[in-house]
Amino acid sequence: MHIAMENPLSSFEVFLKDNPNVEFVWLQFMSYTSNTLVRIVPIAKFKKMLQNNQWLALSSAVLHLVPGDRLAPGAGPSGKFHLRPDFSTAYCQIGSNGTRAVVNVDCINENGDPIPECARSKLRDLHNILQRENERMTPEDRPHIELIEAVARALSSVGIELEQFHAEAGPGQWEFVLPPSNPILAIDTLLRARETIMLVAQSHNYRATISTQPFPNQAANGAHIHMSINQANKSPTLTPTSSPLKTAESFFAGIQNHLPAILAFALPNDLSYKRVGTGTWSGGEYAAWGWENKEVALRRIELNRFEIKLVDGFSNPYLVLCALLSAGIIGLRGELALTGGPCIIPAAELSDDERRRIGLVNSLPYTLDDSLDCLEEDGRIQYLMGPLMVSSYLDIKRGRWRF
């Protein structure tokens, strides 16, 4: 495939100048089953491809596979797409002595346009809509200390400066707080961090996991997301009666209203729903919010900053952010009011009347199938994310037990 674009080789040569030992280029993207898919190209072949404005082609069926490498119901075996590298994401994988360059890609068609199923491209589009229309996003054990410090050093070596890191409640459980950034760069950084952590752990004869419940009867793993929203080119100072605050609350009200559908992406595995519930600091069973309340779905930290707690490591984070931004845009356009709080105790411990008074009528889905049903019924989320992306995801998830 040949696409006219501005000097792709020169962009990559800047990277190679600082990393002269590269022998292989790993082109990677994330599937709807949250697996990182990689195509490896020898450096000589890759440079020749760039000289000819040529991108690697893959079968479209790759995007529609359920576990077991079977096509999801409704998907066809024909068609292709291409991998366009984003060289701003290039880095050398730790432990490779600089021989492996890892680059995130966008999935594009023959004309160079993103295909509808590309979650990374869709996340970029939704971020642009958000900036254009209203706002600017800003995310915002001693036995293992040698390993943990090695992780921190390795992350720094691939360009990730941690905000902080600390032990959690489970055995060998640690939290690494990544720096804030715009949505797409934040997810690219997250994937780079996960790979780096897993490689460092392996080099110390450990295995790092983001599984929701690696040990029975111990603290579970989540993948919580911190999100802030500020008006572009304006002071971030907010007061309880300011217009920017109302705008921020409308954004998070959209997330709150569409959370049942969002959970289809954020909690995408049957095991995901065994982690969540009252008393586990995982977000609870209602779309409630509360100030610094770790038992609600939306923990409010500042006037314009929330932590989204009902997310885990089984998810494809590009899809999760696409769903969250879509819901936020719906909230902004509708100038929705933030209800469902503030809760100072778990929402499940409120009486039915108390929940009704703050707008908590229905509980969140208890199973993946329930969440998928909510997504299928949510036409507004489907419209913003793209019907093909959502229908493909639904087919893959509903086909998980077919084979």
349 by DSSP, 3-state: which?
helix
Residue 362 token pair: 């229905």
Q: For residue 189, is pLDDT > 80? A: yes
Q: For residue 259, is pLDDT > 90? A: yes
> Which amino acid does the sequence have at 11?
S
**Cα 326 from Cα 84, distance rounded (Å):** 24
* Segments making up each domain of the chain, as ranges: 8-115, 132-398
pLDDT at 67: 78
Write down the CATH superfamily of domain 132-398: Glutamine synthetase/guanido kinase, catalytic domain (3.30.590.10)
**Please, which residues have CB within 8 angstroms of residue 218's CB and are 6 or more apart in sequence?**
169, 170, 171, 173
Average pLDDT over residues 61-67: 85
HEC readout, 139-156: CCCHHHHHHHHHHHHHHH
Average pLDDT over residues 171-181: 88
pLDDT at 263: 97
pLDDT at 166: 80
Q: For residue 255, is pLDDT > 90? A: yes
Region of poorest pLDDT, from 20-24, 83-87, 137-141, 259-263: 137-141
Average pLDDT over residues 175-203: 94
Q: Which residue's structure tokens are 């390795």?
A: 154
Local confidence band at 235 (pLDDT 50, 70, 90 cut-offs) = very low
Residue 182 token pair: 């715009």
pLDDT at 142: 60
Q: What are the b/e assignments for 283-321, b being 16+ CB within 10 Å?
A: bbbbbbbbeebebbbbbbeebbbbbbbbbbbbbbbbbbb
Backbone angles phi, psi at 39, to 5 degrees: -120, 125
Long-range CB contacts (< 8 A, 24+ apart) of 205-208? Answer: 206/144, 206/147, 206/172
Reported pTM: 0.82
Number of residues that make up the chain: 403
pLDDT at 7: 57
271 by DSSP, 3-state: which?
coil
pLDDT tens by residue, 348-387: 888 889 888 888 877 899 999 999 999 999 999 999 999 9
Angle (nearest 5°) at CA 48 between 47 and 54: 100
CATH, range 8-115: 3.10.20.70
**Cα 289 from Cα 305, distance rounded (Å):** 12
**Cα 319 from Cα 342, distance rounded (Å):** 28
